[in-house]
Structure 1
């Protein structure tokens, strides 16, 4: 049986708050470099971000938000439930972005597993967006009901003809994720009716590793498009790993990953 959603979200919020300053260490690891390059490829392949309004659900420190700004987005709204992750993101934006780009970023404290729109939602969000991102949020979900609540928010936010882009875990029990070859590692697997609970560890160059508790439902990590179909999305595709420069430069190093990858970047079109 999976932990209750409330207790798990409280725990994961505390973990992100406590480890916010170290989280971006992921970018220095092969895993982080791959994610960064693949995401850049995904948002630039059809120029979907140029002039777009973008909603970044679970946007954390704003890594992906800055990427879509670089790809030409007109405005990016970030929603996250960790005040410390957003504080790091705001400081990074102050250092990295120019004044004009910073004005195109807005930060909102909110829980993406709860209704974001309408009465009781997050005040200040737009009625709809051209692009909605949801990166890693499905990997802290222990029930289909919570997963559907997230997909309801995504569907409500994307305008007809708009885009969804999201990063999700694949099966975390693959050798690519248990051996730590690419940086992060997963361990302590416990199966429950609809999925897996497990821990993940991100090594940090200086200091203790970042440790997170995860819940992943089979409907997500298996690659099923059931939720996409149910909530009005079509043309579901996975960004090819071979589009990343690190994979092109050293395919032998990435052979284990290509056989059984650790994450997927998924794109879809709102009907």
Structure 2
């Protein structure tokens, strides 16, 4: 995840470090199962990941990185501010992929809003990449300059013709995110000129709840494609959800999400 003015880098890092072992409880809720399925749908489309090199910004425990490996990627570089989240990811990768499979993942401590490449960048990153992932990283940002810096890193990392794939929050005040119907909730809303501060909670299942501070700029949560286009991306698409197994199993349950989703997965091509 990335730093923001509302949540200093050190505090955000501390929050994720302290809650790393609990974070994957998200996958026990409809929200998490839905996210798993819709992200898999996005990266399995066409040959996006076949033989691809991937950069996963804010990759946390590496769940999305492993999904791209399953879709055919050859290697994934994960960047995150939390060493503890990545420690969980390394352990999961070893258990699920084995020693050889886990070698296709590399882990780097870094902030998606800071310089990642060239002199002063994160040592060992090797752009260009075929695909860059940025999941939830825009939802800890209250400063347009920080958001711009993230997009510059994303654009610099992707080869021409490559892909951007990202999970981003929609308006967190929607019913899907305040009702608790799908698991996680958002609360404590406070507007600022360009966006919204709020907190989010992932309910624990036999463990303590996970609590996070968030800030989302309107240019991100509104669904605007301004930042994508400004940084060289086109054919911006929102991944549909009607075909997902979890949605087809209970369309009525998911109707309120479809009417006003809590998040979407966005894909775009680099010019």
TM above 0.5? yes
Which residue in the other structure is 2:201 paired with?
201
**TM-fit CA distance, 1:103:** 1.3
**What is the CA-CA distance between 1:37 and the residue it aligns to?**
0.2
Question: How far apart, in 1, do the equivalents of 2:4 and 2:117 lie?
Answer: 24
**Structure 1 spans left out of the alignment, 5+ residues:** none
Distance 1:5 1:155 in 2: 23
1:192-230: CA deviation from partner (whole Å, max 9, x where unpaired): 010000000001111210000000000000000000000
Mapped to 2, the partners of 1:215 and 1:19 lie a distance apart of: 19
> Equivalents in 1 of 2:243, 2:30: separation in Å?
15
The equivalent of 2:124 in structure 1 is 124
Find the counterpart in structure 1 of residue 102 from structure 2: 102
| Match status 1:214 vs 2:214 | yes
Q: Measure the CA separation in 2 of the matches of 1:157 and 1:230.
A: 15
Q: Does the 8 Å contact 1:9/1:140 carry over to 2?
A: no
5 Å matches for 1:16-95?
16-95=16-95
Structure 1 length normalisation: TM-score? 0.97
Provide the rounded CA distance (Å) in 1 between the counterparts of 2:226 and 2:9: 24
The alpha-carbon distance between structure 1 residues 64 and 226, as it changes in their structure 2 partners (threshold 3 A), is same
Cα offset, 1:6, TM superposition: 7.9
Deviation (angstroms), 1:11:
1.7
| Residue in 2 that maps onto 1:228 | 228
C-alpha separation in 1, matches of 2:179 and 2:6? 31
**C-alpha contact (below 8 Å) 1:57/1:135 kept by paired residues:** yes
Structure 2 runs not aligned, ≥5 long:
none
**Does residue 1:250 correspond to 2:250, yes or no?**
yes
| CA distance in 2: counterparts of 1:7 and 1:200, whole angstroms | 13
| Cα distance change, pair 122–4 in 1 and its aligned pair in 2 (3 A) | closer
Question: Deviation of residue 64 (structure 1)?
Answer: 0.2
What per-residue deviation string (whole Å, max 9, x for no partner) do you get for residues 54-111 of structure 1?
A: 0000000000000001111011000001000000000111111123321111000111
2: CA distance, partners of 1:210 / 1:6: 18
Counterpart Cα distance in 1 of 2:8 and 2:211? 14
Give the corresponding residue for 1:155: 155
Counterpart of 1:164? 164
Query: Aligned partners of 2:135 and 2:243: how far apart in 1?
Result: 19
SS in 2 for 1:246: helix
Please, what TM-score do these two structures have when normalized by structure 2? 0.97
Q: Which residue of 2 aligns with 1:112?
A: 112
Secondary structure of residue in 2 paired with 1:152:
helix
Moved more, 92-101 or 52-61: 92-101
Would you say the 8 A contact 1:69–1:101 is kept in 2? no
Partners of 2:211 and 2:48 lie apart in 1 by 34
CA distance in 1 between partners of 2:7 and 2:57 (Å): 20
| Comparing 78-87 and 243-252, the one that deviates more | 243-252
Render the CA deviation track for 1:223-265: whole Å, top value 9, x for unaligned.
Answer: 0000000000000000002132101111000011011000010
Contact conserved, 2:6 with 2:142, CA < 8 A, in 1? no
Q: Distance in 1 between matches of 2:114 and 2:6?
A: 11
The answer as to whether partners of 1:5 and 1:146 remain within 8 angstroms in 2 is no
